[in-house]
Structure 1
Amino acid sequence: MKSIAQGKINIGLLIPYKREDGLHEIRSVFVPISFGDPMEIQIMPLSPGQKPSFQLVSENYLHGYRYEKFEEVSERGELSRNILHKAFQKLATYLREPIAISIHLQKYLPPEGGIGGGSSNAGFFLKEIFPWTHLSKEEQIPLAKSIGADVPFFLQSSPCYVTGIGEVLEPISVAQGSGILAIPPFGLSTSAMYTGLQKSLQKPYGSEVWKSLAEDLIRSLQVGDWAYLQNRLENEFEKIAFQTQPLLKELKLGFYESGAVYASLSGSGSCFYGIYPSDRERDEALRIVSDRFPDMEFRTFSF
């Protein structure tokens, strides 16, 4: 099976409280995007009694420190730390028959980017291997969650309203869109970002914005009314990100000045994106932001 392990963007992200298990509750809309990692998975049944096997062949197209970060967990580094290898190990005991798995991965999704990265790869891998296991649909989500909080989303194929720690998914409709993704030459530590929010243990509470999601906000997402959403669906991590990396605040302003109708940090960062009214306007804006931020890597995407 050869396809694209898609990345994702967050449209709005609220962290209402810290849970008793030490994790954080979230409210967000996850949207899969066209930018991702090409992956080819080959599966070969083995003879009874043979042990399942795993092979990864990767091409690293990342830049800067992220290149080295991926190399550390690739087949050229410590493979046991690789998320695909971890997923294989978790699945091995559930296989209906022994199989040999060979993966060819072209790595473009940046780690520490907030757009899926390894979680996307793991979700794509699980979707292809689940049919070879005894796991029921109900058992697949907990296993995916045990690999990473975002992994269950990448078992889906549509945008979702996301709650819990990222594993409670409600598919929703989002209008088609065109965007520019900025990949800064620096990352933002997820743990440091959560610490910066200083969320205390408390009982769940609702935000008026998110309570109304099923009404006005969902309708706006369905028709692509980004002007309405612009100041209503915000990423709570932005206030920490702007303090940590002021360049990101300039980048958001740059997206809007180049014609974006919505711009936001994705996840806990550091990737930032802008959404534009059309492919033509997006492509024109790409030239503008590329000139304004020459040290930034930019990718176009659609959804």
Structure 2
Amino acid sequence: MVSFKTLSQGKINIGLFVPYKREDGLHEIHSVFVPISFGDPMEVQITPLPKDQKSSFQLVSENHLHGYRHTKFEEVSERGDFTKNILYKAFQKSVTHLQKPVSITIRLQKHLPPEGGIGGGSSNAGLFLKELFPWTDLPKEEEIPLAKSIGADVPFFLQSSACFVSGIGEVLEPISVAQGSGILAIPPFGLSTASMYAGLQKSLQKPYGSQVWKSLAEDLLRSLQVGDWAYLQNRLENEFEKIAFQTQPLLKELRLGFFESGAVYVSLSGSGSCYYGIYPSDRERDEALHIVSNRFPDMEFRTFSF
């Protein structure tokens, strides 16, 4: 038996631009994805089986989510309709490529919220595939297409660094991003990814593209490398924010609260609903945590680093 204990990391988006809608109904994106220290503790156990046995999969989970999200995860956990679980879907997609039958057990402590825009189940699936691929005969060049077939964000979680992301999330260019400290706000409501994309009303026509995002400009790369967040604030913006503010005005108030507590970069992550602020230091972040927690008592806050 081989066992891996690790953290299934969440991610934040530093900027998110959606240039157009593709003919297949999906959307092209340009964004910077950064893995963060907040995530789901996860253990993957893989045990070889005799050749005459079938591969098996088991999930053992602890649900640490709150509110409606607790129920949402229960519905697809081993206590609900397990066939809808993204980890099970990843196993089903991979099982025909296994070189020998195996028994797989995943122990998961669920903290990453669904409908949060910070990776959630995609992180779990990506980490699982990363551990499983060495047991398969899948060529290296087919790993990302398989991951993409499970979810648009899953390919990123096969990586180990921040990336400039394009395509629908599968075109990945590793980049260097300065270390940072932040606070993540997890609102008691979610934002549907489908409705957020629909709200953008992007046409099928390919535009000439934003000069900021056509390729990640040299000044932006340099600012990411040194952590010049104030410079990046009005240059790498999340296009979903305008819709999120209309749908949930509390997020606009949260944005102001982060800035007033000393954040130097504030943004929605993905299509939401999680919102975050980056601070100049761990000390200033920890002081700000008390401020925003008191101002928004119904909001869940988590500190993170990257």
TM-score, length basis structure 1: 0.99
RMSD of the TM alignment (CA)? 0.7
For 1:85, which of 83, 88, 97 is the aligned residue? 88
In the alignment, is residue 187 of structure 1 matched against residue 190 of structure 2?
yes
Instruction: Kindly provide the amino acid, as one letter, of the partner of residue 37 in structure 1.
Output: D
1:182-221 alignment to 2 at 5 Å? 182-211=185-214, 213-221=216-224
**Partners of 2:215 and 2:153 in 1: how far apart?**
24
1:101 corresponds to 2:104: yes
CA–CA distance in structure 2, aligned partners of residues 271 and 205 of structure 1: 30
Pick aligned residue for 2:234 from 211, 231, 241: 231
Which stretch of structure 1 is more off in the superposition, 225-234 or 202-211? 202-211
Structure 1: gaps of 5 or more residues: none
Q: Which amino acid aligns with 1:117?
A: G
Q: Does 1:173 align with 2:183?
A: no
**Residue 12 (1) aligns with residue 15 (2):** yes
SS of 2:29's partner is strand
User: 1:147-204: per-residue Cα shift (whole Å, max 9, x none)?
Assistant: 0000000000000000000000000000000000000000000010011111011025
Structure 2: which 5+ residue stretches go unaligned? Answer: none
Distance 2:260 2:276 in 1: 13
1:1-303 equivalences in 2 (<5 Å) = 1-211=4-214, 213-303=216-306
SS of corresponding position for 2:87: helix
Paired residue type of 2:34: V
Q: Is the 8 A contact 2:115 2:273 kept in 1?
A: yes
Structure 1: distance between partners of 2:288 and 2:73: 30
SS in structure 2 of the partner of residue 213 of structure 1: coil
User: Which deviates more from structure 2 when the two are superposed, residues 282-291 or residues 196-205?
Assistant: 196-205
> Taking every aligned residue pair, what percent have the same amino acid on both sides?
83
> Distance between the aligned counterparts of 1:268 and 1:54, measured in 2?
31
Residue 18 of structure 2 aligns to a residue in which SS?
Answer: strand
**Residues 30-78 of structure 1: CA distance to partner in whole angstroms, max 9, x if unpaired?**
0000000000011100001100000000000000000000000000000
State the 1:211 CA deviation: 3.3
Counterpart of 1:84 in structure 2: which amino acid?
L
What SS does the corresponding residue of 1:209 show, helix, strand or coil? coil
What is the rounded CA distance, in whole Å, between the counterparts of 1:26 and 1:59 in structure 2? 33
Distance 2:293 2:283 in 1: 16
SS at match of 1:295: coil
Please tell me whether the aligned partners of residues 43 and 108 of structure 2 are also in contact (alpha carbons under 8 angstroms).
yes
Which sits farther off after the overlay, 29-38 or 208-217?
A: 208-217
CA contact (8 A) 2:176 2:224 kept: yes
In structure 2, the CA distance between the partners of 1:103 and 1:261, relative to structure 1 (3 Å rule), is same
In 1: Cα distance, 2:73 partner to 2:273 partner: 16
Cα offset, 1:212, TM superposition: 5.9
* 1:206 to partner: Cα distance: 1.8
How far, CA to CA, are the matches of 1:196 and 1:79 in structure 2? 31
SS of the residue corresponding to residue 96 of structure 1 reads coil
Secondary structure of the structure 1 residue equivalent to 2:217: helix
SS at match of 2:212: helix
Q: Secondary structure at the match of 1:274?
A: strand
The CA distance in 2 between the partners of 1:203 and 1:289, in whole Å, is 41
Supply the distance in 1 between the matched residues of 2:135 and 2:37 (Cα, whole angstroms): 27
Q: Shift of residue 205 of structure 1?
A: 2.6
**Contact 2:122/2:154 (CA < 8 Å) preserved in 1?**
yes
Distance in 1 between the 2:11 and 2:122 partners?
10
Cα displacement (A) at 1:287: 0.2
